Structure 1
Amino acid sequence: MFFVDTIEIEGLGNRHYLAGGLRTAVAVDPPRDIDQVIAAAARRGVRITHVVETHIHNDYVTGGLELARLTGAAYLVPAAAQVSFARVPVHDGDVIDVDEGITVRALATPGHTPHHTAYVLQEDGSPVAAFTGGSLLIGGVGRPDLVEPRLTERLARAQHASARRLAEELPDSASVLPTHGFGSFCSSGQAGGDTSTIGREKTFNAALAQDVDTFVAGLLAGLEDVPAYYAHMGPANAAGPAPVDLTAPARADAEDIAARLAAGEWVVDLRNRVAFAEGHVAGSFNFEADGKIATYLAWMIPWGKPVTLLADSPRQLAEAQRELVRVGIDRPAAAATGGPADWVRPGEAPVSFRRAGFAELAEELRGAGAGERPVVLDVRRDSERAGGHVGGSVHIPVHALHRRIDEVPAGTVWVHCAGGMRAGIAASLLDAAGRDVVAVDDGFDRAVDAGLTVVRTAADAI
């Protein structure tokens, strides 16, 4: 009897798997903090004998090499992937014995990367599930544009062929178990559900419902910006990541925090956006520990710049460290816990900015006289804005704001996103730059009810 356990990393929008039988198991696309995988194996009472990668990942640092080293497992990587460490090269059609009657079969599925390989879990020779990595996802496919721009269209066509190969070779009952698709920017869209099968995908997945030209045109048209830190993930994974160090960072006091800010380093406050708006260290940035801290901080911080973390508790700090090592931010320069009163020097005080809703923004706009209209800054992604935006608003996606902050017009800035989290990040950047800012902490779906004019054509935007 086989089992499949899912290890979900919500912050990165990925899933990782442990599968096997009564005694032994295989780990699929393990996260960098491998203690989770080891704990899952311990709960099952199984030994990890194989670690497999579907591809060289672009959105996180793998734990595969270290997991294989610690457990003595064979480390299987697609043969065509160029890596700098010893591994077992996997070719199309290879079959790996996992436990009695349980095997995985390698299936070449290029598209997300040229060397991408899916693994079909078989019980007594019958396919029961497929670990599809960044190939066939739930309701979509992995992005084809993360390797090399000149290969994008070719890989998009390969995605279509690979998805169809999976659908043709596997029974409708086989579970589809992708790594990406649950919020990861490696996927071409959000997962169309929590679980799926090959049969369900035949009904709902465009790769299986459309001809190749229609599918490729739609896929390419929907691609958005690639997180900047992705450029560092592939090389790190190909070189062989170092083991993680999750010990507590050096402690920072108020003088140290001030010195790091003066030196141009990043000081990141992990508390929730409400607490940050009410009081924070001047010049610090707010990336909520409960938000997508790894994605957005890694996307926005200049790569390699020292970062000091401010947390309300040791637990919050430890969880943030765990999130950040997954994307290659290995060691904070320093850290402090407590609150803003603990982080400012004697004689100094925390600073704050306003929070509001869309109703208050509408009231502000109605009451503004000629030449007094506040700046409305939309920091959502292009695709979100295309679905509707506040008339007259300025658009700079949050991941680009730190580079384009000088483009924000003069005046008080009311900044919004879709729900409030990204507006909090943007407000902290603007506040640190000395701008008068109001964070709109509200759902965009309430903008119309608040009386704001929402337009839906590019011609109406300025």
Structure 2
Amino acid sequence: MVQVDVIATEELGDRSYLAHDGQVAIVVDPQRDIDRVEQLLKRLNVRCELVLETHIHNDYVSGGFQLATLTGARYAVSAHDDVEFDRWPVRDGDELQAGSMTVRVVATPGHTDHHLSYVISDDDGPPVVFSGGSLLYGSVGRTDLVDPARTEELAHAQYHSARRIADLLPDDAGVFPTHGFGSFCSAGSTGQGPQGTVADERKGNDALTEPDENRFVEKLVAGLTAYPAYYAHMGARNRGGPAPIDLTPPQHADPEQLRRRIEAGEWVVDLRDRTAYAADHLTGTIGIGLSAQFATWLGWLIPWGTPLTLIGHDAEQVADAQRQLVRIGIDRPDAHALGEPADLAPPARRGSYPVVSFTDLAHRDQADGTVLDVRRDDEWATAHIPGAVHVPLHDLLERLEDVPHDLLWVHCAAGYRASIAAGLLHRAGRDVRCVDDEFAHAEKLGLTVAGQAAP
């Protein structure tokens, strides 16, 4: 039986996989920090013979090219993808061998034009399919990343690709998608379980349960939400053969260097917890707390190519941030600093703003400032606070002039996005209150009205 180990990248909502027969390994869609793969290969005492890429990824920089170079493995990439490196070009219907495992290449266009899925089998047990951004748990990969004008065309292709996978395989075949665990590459709701089967998908996947193809396409397209701006840079990096990463500490910045970088308009990002940042931070910095969402939001908001300095309370925090950032192509921060705000700047160059709850918001005088909702459009459409100004966080820097110049009560769904928005607005000289609270609390308090949810 083919053994499958999962290498989860929860920060981006993706999974890479290592399939093996006890001696030989096949790695599917590896993330760029391939040291995790190397450690697993060593622990399992297997050698990597084949690296498979399901598609040219939009949401992260691949580690496939470097892993194949390092291990001497064959690197299988669609023959139809225009890339700038040597690879093993594969096409629909090809069969590859790695140890006792046979790999069948299956064309599954939709998420991208040349997307491939890989069915791996041996002489013992059911096959498994690595479906990339095609058949996900409960849904499929989004179809608007290649060209928004072709979204519906590719959604039709995605419908047929998902059904092709199901038709090719028995019910007990394991399904192992790359996307669908919080990734913006997925469309619609997806399951979060450790693994699933074709039988599971036959029961619960929209692409397999909806008999009307046009209705499926209509529903998929209507449910697509905004995706991170850094996606625009990922395809070119992956087609070029990404270089090795360097996770050694960047240059150290002393307090004077921090001051100069801030005054030059560079991005100096404070990694500390959002409440700690609100209570005391260097004026002109941006607070993006290190969390599973950190790289997504920094990559989405930062003007691409802007010099970046990280401030952490210790070296481990900065190292964790670096690892997240290399996955989306921010290879090396320009500098870093360690310590608390009091260690890095005098009181005159530090700032703060209040953190409040929806209860505080409910008790405020209605004339006391403006409520700013920084959630996505679909969240706003479902329910919102009457009279609030709505500017999604990912649009905030381009729409600052749409934000009133009075006291701002900034909220999102749980506090993280509100904290980033409050920091950006405070940096721009605005008077802010960060609502660090669950939106469900606002609903319980009767502050919201229902809107029109997306179909």
Match of 2:149 in 1: 150
Q: 1:180-239 deviations in whole A, cap 9, x for unaligned? A: 011111111342231321111111111111121000011111112231111100011001
Structure 2 distance, partners of 1:319, 1:453, is 38
CA deviation vs aligned residue, 1:96-139 (integer Å, no higher than 9, x gap): 22222x22211110000010000112121864211100000001
- Which residue of 1 is the match for residue 235 of structure 2? 234
Alignment of 1:187-206 (within 5 A): 187-194=186-193, 195-206=195-206
Aligned residues: 451
Q: Which residue of 2 aligns with 1:224?
A: 225
The question of whether the paired residues in 1 share the 8 Å contact of 2:12 and 2:292 is answered with no
Partner of 1:209: 209
1:245-394 maps to which residues of 2 (within 5 A)?
245-344=246-345, 346=346, 348-364=348-364, 367-368=365-366, 372-394=367-389
Q: CA deviation at 1:454?
A: 2.6
DSSP 3-state at the match of 1:118:
strand
Contact kept? 1:182, 1:190, Cα under 8 Å: no
State how far apart, in whole Å, the 1-side matches of 2:261 and 2:279 are: 22
CA distance in 1 between partners of 2:192 and 2:35 (Å): 28
In structure 2, C-alpha distance between the alignment counterparts of 1:22 and 1:57, rounded to whole Å: 29
TM-score (norm 1): 0.95
Q: What's the TM-score once normalised by structure 2's chain length?
A: 0.97
Q: In the alignment, which residue of structure 2 is the partner of 1:49?
A: 49
- Whole-angstrom CA distance in 2 between matches of 1:196 and 1:386: 32
CA distance in 2, matches of 1:62, 1:174: 26
Q: Alpha carbon RMSD of aligned pairs, Å? A: 1.3
8 Å contact from structure 1 (residues 183, 190) kept in 2 = no
SS of 1:137's partner is coil
Aligned amino acid, residue 395 of structure 2: A
Instruction: Kindly indicate whether the alpha-carbon contact (under 8 Å) linking 1:252 and 1:335 is maintained by their aligned counterparts in 2.
Output: yes
Matching residue's letter, 1:433: A
| Residue aligned with 2:443, SS | coil
Work out whether 1:182 is the aligned partner of 2:177. Answer: no
Deviation (angstroms), 1:175? 1.5
Off by >4 Å, runs of 4+ in structure 1: none
Deviation at 1:286, TM superposition (A): 1.0
Between the aligned partners of 2:173 and 2:391, the Cα distance in structure 1 is 43
Flag the 1:384–1:60 CA change in 2: closer, same or farther, 3 A.
same
1: CA distance between counterparts of 2:44 and 2:164? 33
Which string of whole-angstrom CA distances, capped at 9 and with x for unpartnered residues, describes residues 142-176 of structure 1? Answer: 01110122322111100000000011111111121
Alpha carbons 2:181, 2:192 under 8 Å: kept? no
- SS of the counterpart of 2:118? strand
* Residue range with higher mean Cα deviation, 71-80 or 348-357: 348-357
What's the CA shift for 1:451?
Answer: 3.6
- Matched residue, 2:3: 3
Q: Percent identity over the alignment? A: 53
- CA deviation digits over 1:70-119, x for unaligned, max 9? 0000010011111011000011122222222x222111100000100001
Distance in 2, Cα, partners of 1:453 & 1:151: 36
CA contact (8 A) 2:144 2:150 kept: yes
Separation of aligned partners in 2, 1:383 and 1:123 = 45
Closer/same/farther in 2, CA of residues 321 and 374 from structure 1, 3 Å limit: same
CA shift for structure 1 position 312: 0.9
Alignment of 1:48-127 (within 5 A): 48-100=48-100, 102-124=101-123, 127=126
Q: 1:38 aligns to what?
A: 38
Could you tell me how far apart the structure 2 residues matched to 1:24 and 1:381 are? 45
Distance 2:192 2:38 in 1: 28
Higher deviation after alignment, 186-195 or 206-215: 186-195
Q: Distance in 1 between matches of 2:249 and 2:84?
A: 30
Cα deviation, 1:229-253, whole Å, max 9, x if unaligned, reads 1110001100111110111000011
Which consecutive unaligned segments of at least 5 residues does structure 1 have? none
Instruction: Flag structure 2 segments of 5+ consecutive residues without an equivalent.
Output: none
Which deviates the most, 73-82 or 189-198? 189-198
Give me the whole-angstrom Cα distance separating, in 2, the residues matched to 1:378 and 1:175. Answer: 41
